[in-house]
Amino acid sequence: MTGCVAINVLLCPRFSIRYYVAVSNPIAQSDLEFQTRMLMRVSRTFALTIPQLPEPLSTVVGNAYLWCRIADTIEDCPDFSLDEKRSHIEALVAVIGGAQSPDAFADALLPRLTGDDWAGERELIADTNAVMRIFESFGERERAAVQRCVGIMAKGMEHFQEGMFAHGLRDQAQLDAYCYYVAGVVGEMLTEIFCAHAPEIEANRGDLERFGISFGQGLQMTNILKDIWDDKDRYVCWLPQAAFAEHDFDLRDLTPGQESEAFETALGEQVGIALGHLRNALEYTLHIPRTERGIRLFCLWALGMAVLTLRKINNQRGFQTGDEVKISRNAVRATVLLTRIGVFHDWILRGLFRVASWGLPLTNVSPASADRISLAE
């Protein structure tokens, strides 16, 4: 078939099936090696999980992650004014849309990224051309999904500028909106990419769309809770003011090492909400056909590590640094081993989730929906 790459995907011990995935242009080996190296430099979790995906999904999702990492770098850089962040984000959207040169984008951004903390990101951005060449090789559905994701993420980043939220977001609804724009939209993108990969996944599109945004929100809320004090050092707080005010705690008084029952109670409620979204993430994963082992593992590893992180946060609500609630390598190894054993068996996976989340607060949350999310200021 002209313009297609045939991919043999093992479905079960008894038979296999061949899928054809549209590829516009061949990808240079040097570009693929660059992408692999960059994933290892700028991400720990995704450098572990993305290789579990079958090809070409692994290449597509890895490339999408690098575009999102570039956007995050612009947002995270403390030396940029709000106007500068907006300008660079708009330029990134123009690059991925083909309206601006990757070299011009890199030349404008690189001089402002100084210090050893940005070494990996500088190397990535310096060769935005390689990221773009890989992106241009994808099929139309994959390119459209990544473009949409980066565009929506950019819109959210313009609204949720870090410098505007030193003392928390307004309420839970605004936190939901923030999580959508930086993570939920990634769940939507992955759903589209997965559906483009195989008709068996496409058949479950409705259920995957229903739970995909929640998956992103659960992971993002876990990161927010883990990074409370790292964010505080950058004069940023993504916790919902109203939720903490209900327990008579003012986020303007947020200080590491404080002993506050009110703060810890409100923090526990946020753990429960995050876990509720992660339970929805489990439902998302179980709607991936059992034949798609790699995609299931990709989801399960991220989900499992997030639940274990919530456990550490909940057991040590007075933690003062992110390192204190970072899960151990042994916990990661256990997650990998147990999910590999249970990947084909939904009842085992449900049991593993119950065991991992045992004793944690849990709030039942409806699957997040983009049409219910507002950017109300």
**Which residue has tokens 């050893």?**
116
Sort residue 235 into left (φ over 0), alpha (ψ -120 to 50) or beta: left
Residue 192 falls inside a structural domain: yes
Same domain, yes or no: 191 and 104: no
Which pLDDT score is estimated for 97? 93
Which pLDDT score is estimated for 370? 58
Which pLDDT score is estimated for 16? 30
Same domain, yes or no: 258 and 366: yes
| 148, two tokens | 């949409």
Calculate the CA 341 to chain-centre distance: 25
Residue 377 falls inside a structural domain: no
Q: What is the CA radius of gyration of the chain?
A: 20
How big is the chain, counted in residues? Answer: 377
Report how far residue 239's alpha carbon sits from residue 33's, in angstroms, rounded to the nearest whole number. 38
Report how far residue 193's alpha carbon sits from residue 93's, in angstroms, rounded to the nearest whole number. 19
Residue 15 falls inside a structural domain: no
Please check whether residue 66 is in contact with residue 148, taking contact to mean a CB–CB distance below 8 angstroms. Answer: no
Which pLDDT score is estimated for 157? 84
Q: Which of 110, 126, 159 is the last residue of a domain?
A: 159
Same domain, yes or no: 216 and 320: yes
pLDDT tens-digit profile, the chain (377 residues)? 333 332 232 223 222 332 333 444 678 899 999 999 999 999 877 888 999 999 999 999 999 999 999 998 998 887 888 888 889 999 999 999 999 999 999 999 998 888 777 889 999 999 999 999 999 999 999 999 999 999 999 888 888 876 678 899 999 999 999 999 999 999 999 999 999 999 999 999 999 999 999 999 999 999 999 999 999 988 899 999 999 999 999 999 999 888 899 999 999 999 999 999 999 999 999 999 999 999 999 999 999 999 999 999 999 999 999 999 999 999 999 999 999 999 999 999 999 999 999 999 999 988 866 555 655 44
Which pLDDT score is estimated for 8? 30
Report how far residue 346's alpha carbon sits from residue 287's, in angstroms, rounded to the nearest whole number. 10
Same domain, yes or no: 53 and 108: yes
Cβ neighbours of residue 269 closer than 8 Å, sequence gap 6 or more: 243, 361, 363
**Which residue has tokens 């995935």?**
21
| Cα-based distances in Å from 168 to 164, 178, 250, 344 | 9, 11, 10, 41
| Cα-based distances in Å from 356 to 306, 330, 334 | 10, 14, 11
Please check whether residue 218 is in contact with residue 183, taking contact to mean a CB–CB distance below 8 angstroms. Answer: no
Q: Which of 159, 190, 225 is the last residue of a domain?
A: 159
Cβ neighbours of residue 234 closer than 8 Å, sequence gap 6 or more: 76, 78, 162
Same domain, yes or no: 227 and 344: yes
Which pLDDT score is estimated for 258? 85
Residue 199 falls inside a structural domain: yes
Q: Domain limits at 87?
A: 28-159
Which pLDDT score is estimated for 369? 62
Q: Which amino acid is at 325?
A: V
Same domain, yes or no: 124 and 220: no
Same domain, yes or no: 178 and 283: yes
Same domain, yes or no: 154 and 186: no
Which pLDDT score is estimated for 374? 55
